[in-house]
Amino acid sequence: DVKVTQSSRYLVKRTGEKVFLECVQDMDHENMFWYRQDPGLGLRLIYFSYDVKMKEKGDIPEGYSVSREKKERFSLILESASTNQTSMYLCASHFGERGPYGYTFGSGTRLTVV
Amino acid sequence: AQTVTQSQPEMSVQEAETVTLSCTYDTSENNYYLFWYKQPPSRQMILVIRQEAYKQQNATENRFSVNFQKAAKSFSLKISDSQLGDTAMYFCAFTPGAQKLVFGQGTRLTINP
């Protein structure tokens, strides 16, 4: 069964810490995405990548960066965590133009910044 | 702007009833894909149904069907014979041209026994 794996299910970090959220997919997908999920706001796109070392800003990139050194791994970095980054973070990947085959999601990382 | 609006934050129905979740979207694209995703308490996003905008026929997957009105930019989900396992957050989404998904705010659906 194809998988997108997020390294942590729950994470608690302190304000100002540098935080890494890791995502690995085993489907050889070119495209990978990081979303943030908040109640009443749905999922909002932070960054996405369509190839190794390539990245594009999504709708809410401020306070975040990403890294994609290998095709299967896409990391989200919070340079200096703040309490307003407390949220659920979902990674996704897909193959193909316009996602016709659908996206595969990880099971999310619930991050709390204290 | 590429947006998706789900106007029903919460819905609740009895088991075996039929329920319809609403979704409208805004795009200037002519060709795109529309999706309904289900997110149960396990948090795993599950694809429920997919519709290609250039197809006039409404998609159907077992108890799940859509009413796609392209001119009105409406994409509602109908769940027939609802089951307890249908309890979840439901998200409407579409791909407006780039390969990213744009999501609605979600509808929390509860199926009562």
For residue range A16-38, list pLDDT tens digits in order.
999 999 999 998 888 899 999 99
What tens digit of pLDDT does each residue of A81-93 get?
Answer: 999 999 999 999 9
Chain B residue numbers with beta carbons less than 8 Å from the beta carbon of A100 are 33, 50, 52
Minimal CA separation from B62 to chain A, in Å:
18
Chain A residue numbers with beta carbons less than 8 Å from the beta carbon of B93 are 43
Q: What is the pLDDT at residue A101?
A: 61
Q: Using CA of residue B79, residue A4, residue A44, residue B52, what is the dihedral sign?
A: negative
Is the CB of B103 less than 8 angstroms away from the CB of A42? yes
Confidence band for A107, pLDDT divided at 50, 70 and 90: very high
Closest CA to A22 of A88, A103, A93, A109: A109
Q: Is A45 in Cβ contact with B102 (below 8 Å)?
A: yes
User: In chain A, which residues have their Cβ closer than 8 Å to the Cβ of B35?
Assistant: 102
* Interval B74-97: pLDDT, tens: 999 999 999 999 999 999 999 876
Query: pLDDT tens across B27-70, in order?
Result: 888 888 899 999 998 888 999 999 988 888 999 999 999 999 99
Q: Inspect the interface and report whether the beta carbons of A99 and B106 lie closer than 8 Å.
A: no
CB contact (8 A) between residue B6 and residue A40: no
β-strand A10-13 against A109-113: which pairing, if any? parallel
